[in-house]
Amino acid sequence: MTDLARSGPLGMIAGDGELPVDIARAAAAAGREIVVVAFPGITRPAIEGVASQIAWLSPGAVDAALRFLAASGAREAVMAGKVSKQALVGGQLEVDDRARRILSRLTDWNDATLLTALAGEIEAEGIALLPQAELVPDWVAPVGPLGEVNPTLSQWEQIRLGWPVARAVASLDIGQTLVVHERAIVAVEAIEGTDEAIRRAGRLVGAGSSAHSREGLCIVKVARPNQDPRFDLPAIGVRTVAVAAEAGAAVIAIEAGSSLVLERQKVVEYADSAGIALVGVPAEGPGADSGSRQGGVRD
C-alpha cells in the first residue's frame, strides 16, 4: 500500500466529482502536500481548500499542466475525476501543441486510449502515476450488501441479466453503467456519463408509474476488463445515489474489488434511507445462489 505520509508533494490532475477532493483530503490528513492541476467549470472549487499549490488550466493545456507538476517537485501523482470528452469530440476544446501531438498518434479517442496516452506523458516527466484505490483503500467495494437493504430474488435476476451485458459494453469502451427494468435493458451509459444515463432511464420508465414502483430500476456499474487501476475506476458517491433515488432505482450493483464508494458511510446511509439495495458483485457476476449467500433477501 502507498505510504501517503512519505515526503514530497503529491501531484493531482483533478476532474469532476467528489473523488479528487476526497483523495486530496485523505492524502493531506496523512501529512502529504497536494499540488493540483484543476479545470475551470469542471473541478470542484473545494479543492482549493486542500491544495498547497493549484493551477487552473484548460483541459487541453497538457504541456502547461505537466510543466507545473514537474516544477512543483512532485514525483508521484494521481488522476482523479472525469473530464468529459464531449468538447474534444465536438471540436470546441482548444488544445496545445503537445496535446495535438498526443492525439495525432492515437487510433481512437476512447476513454482508455486517451487516459493511457496521458499517463504515458506524465510518466515521461519522471512522475509515477499511482493507483487511485491505494490512496483510499477503505472505499473499495466488498462483495455483498453494503447496507441494511438487500436485493430481492427478482432483483438478483435483474442483476444477473444486466451483468454480462454491462461487461460487454465496458469491454468496447462505450460506458461502464447500464440500467435494467422489468427484465429489459432501458439505458446504457455513453459519453453523457453515469448520472445522465440513470436520469434517462428514469424518464423512459416513468417515475411514479405502477410498474416502476413495483420493481424499481436496477443500476449495474462495472469495471472495464483489464481496467488500469491508475485511472477511471468505477465510482459512486452521494450524488449518484441521490440521482438514482430520484429516478426510481431500487438496486445499485457495483463491481467488488474494482469500484470505489466515495465517503462510504454517507453513501450507505443515504442508500438505506432511500430504500436502495447497494451491493458489491464479483467480476464474474452473481451466482445462482446470490439471494441466500450474499446476505439474505426480502420478497
pLDDT tens for residues 173-199? Answer: 889 999 999 999 999 998 888 999 999
274-286 confidence digits (pLDDT tens)? 999 999 999 999 9
pLDDT at 131 > cutoff 80: yes
Distance from C-alpha of 225 to C-alpha of 173, rounded to nearest angstrom: 10
Distance from C-alpha of 30 to C-alpha of 46, rounded to nearest angstrom: 18
DSSP 270: H
Given this model, what pLDDT does residue 153 score?
Answer: 94
Given this model, what pLDDT does residue 211 score?
Answer: 39
147-175 confidence digits (pLDDT tens)? 999 999 999 999 999 999 999 999 998 89
CB half-sphere exposure, 266, CA atoms < 13 A: 11
- Identify the helix (H) or strand (E) that includes residue 265: helix 264-274
Range 140-293 has CATH code 3.40.140.80: yes
Between 276 and 263, residue with greater pLDDT: 276
Pairing of strands 76-80, 177-181: unpaired
Mean pLDDT of the chain: 87
State the sign of the Cα–Cα–Cα–Cα dihedral 45, 244, 224, 28. Answer: positive
Q: Is the pTM of this model over 0.75?
A: yes
Given this model, what pLDDT does residue 291 score?
Answer: 63
Q: Where in the chain is the domain with CATH 3.40.50.20?
A: 10-135
pLDDT at 2 > cutoff 70: no
Given this model, what pLDDT does residue 184 score?
Answer: 94
Between 123 and 6, residue with greater pLDDT: 123
- Mean pLDDT throughout 93-101? 89
Residues of the chain with pLDDT > 70, as a percent, come to: 88
- Mean pLDDT throughout 102-127? 89
Given this model, what pLDDT does residue 85 score?
Answer: 66
Confidence bin at 288 (pLDDT 50/70/90): low
Q: Where in the chain is the domain with CATH 3.40.140.80?
A: 140-293
Q: Specify the CATH class of 10-135 in words.
A: alpha beta
Residues 6+ apart with CB under 8 A from 197: 175, 177, 178, 179, 187, 188, 189, 190
Residues of the chain with pLDDT > 90, as a percent, come to: 63
Between 272 and 1, residue with greater pLDDT: 272
Residues 6+ apart with CB under 8 A from 192: 200
pLDDT at 5 > cutoff 50: no
- Mean pLDDT throughout 133-147? 91
8-31 confidence digits (pLDDT tens)? 899 999 998 888 998 899 889 888
Report the length, in residues, of the chain. Answer: 299
Low-confidence winner among 73-87, 138-152, 172-186, 219-233 (lowest mean pLDDT): 73-87
Given this model, what pLDDT does residue 134 score?
Answer: 84
